[in-house]
Amino acid sequence: MRTWSLLGATLFALLAGCEGADDGAGDGTPLDAAPDSAVESDAGADSDAGGDAAAEDGSENEASADGESEASTEDAASDDAPDSETGPEASASDAGCKNATLCALADEQRAADRMEALVNDPDPTALPQFLTAVPKGGDLHMHLSGAIYAETYMEWARAETLAGTTKYCINNSSLALATSCSSGVSPVPSPGDALFDQVVRAWSMKDFVPGAETGHDHFFATFGKYGAISGSAHHDDCLADVMERAESENQIYLEPMLFSNSTASSKGSDVWQGGTLTTAALPGFHAALLADAGWPASVNAILNDIQKAETGARQILGCGGSNPSPACRVQFRFMVYISRSGGGPGVFAQMVAAFEAAKVEPRLVALNLVGPEDGTAALNAYDRQMEMLGYLHGAYAGSSPLHISLHAGELAPKYMPSGYTISGVNHIRKAVQIAHAERIGHGVDVLGETDPDALLAEMKQRDVMVEIGLSSNIQILEVSGDAHPLGRYIQEEIPVALMTDDQGVSRSSMAGEYYRAVMAQGLDYKQLKKLARTSLHKSFAQGQSLFTSIDSLKSVPECSPTVATTYGDPPTPACKLFLDASPRASLQWELERRFREFEAAQ
DSSP 532-591: HHHHHHTS--SS--SEEETTTTEE-GGG---SS--TTSSPPHHHHHHHHH-HHHHHHHHH
| Domains of the chain, earliest start first | 74-118+545-600 (no CATH), 150-203 (no CATH), 232-517 (3.20.20)
Distance separating alpha carbons of residues 503 and 146, to the nearest angstrom? 6
Q: Is the pLDDT of residue 44 over 80?
A: no
What pLDDT band is residue 31 in, cutting at 50, 70 and 90? low
Q: Which H or E run contains 482?
A: none
Distance separating alpha carbons of residues 219 and 23, to the nearest angstrom? 15
For 391-425, give the DSSP string: HHHHHTTTT---EEEEEE----GGGSPTT--HHHH
What pLDDT band is residue 56 in, cutting at 50, 70 and 90? very low
Query: Percent of the chain having pLDDT more than 70?
Result: 84
Lowest mean pLDDT among 93-107, 222-236, 267-281, 434-448: 93-107
Distance separating alpha carbons of residues 239 and 25, to the nearest angstrom? 34
pLDDT reported for residue 96:
61
Q: Is the pLDDT of residue 352 over 60?
A: yes
How much is the CA Rg of the chain, to the nearest whole Å? Answer: 24
Read off the pLDDT of each residue in 191-200 and give the average, rounded to a whole number: 97
Q: Is the pLDDT of residue 584 over 50?
A: yes
Contact 66, 34 (CB under 8 A): no
Q: What is the pLDDT of residues 281-320, one digit of tens each?
A: 999 999 999 999 999 999 999 999 999 999 999 999 999 9
What burial class does residue 454 get, using C-beta atoms within 10 Å of its C-beta: 0-12 exposed, 13-18 middle, 19+ buried? exposed
The upper half-sphere exposure of residue 509, i.e. CA atoms within 13 Å in the direction of its Cβ, equals: 29
DSSP class of residue 364 equals: E
pLDDT reported for residue 421:
97
Residue among 194, 204, 245 nearest 39 (CA)? 245
pLDDT reported for residue 259:
85
The pLDDT mean for the chain works out to 87
Q: Is the pLDDT of residue 2 over 90?
A: no
Can you give the pTM of this predicted structure? 0.87
Residue among 256, 261, 435 nearest 357 (CA)? 261
- Angle in degrees, 0-180, between the axes of helices 282-291 and 344-360, rounded to the nearest 10: 60
Q: Is the pLDDT of residue 3 over 70?
A: no
Q: What is the pLDDT of residues 102-126, one digit of tens each?
A: 999 999 999 999 999 999 999 999 9
Q: What is the pLDDT of residues 507-563, one digit of tens each?
A: 999 999 999 999 999 999 999 999 999 999 999 999 999 999 999 999 999 999 999
- The larger pLDDT score, comparing residue 107 to residue 77, is at 107
Distance separating alpha carbons of residues 346 and 342, to the nearest angstrom? 7
Q: What is the pLDDT of residues 213-264, one digit of tens each?
A: 999 999 999 999 999 999 999 999 999 999 999 999 999 999 999 989 999 9
What burial class does residue 461 get, using C-beta atoms within 10 Å of its C-beta: 0-12 exposed, 13-18 middle, 19+ buried? exposed
Strands 554-555 and 547-549, how do they pair?
Answer: antiparallel
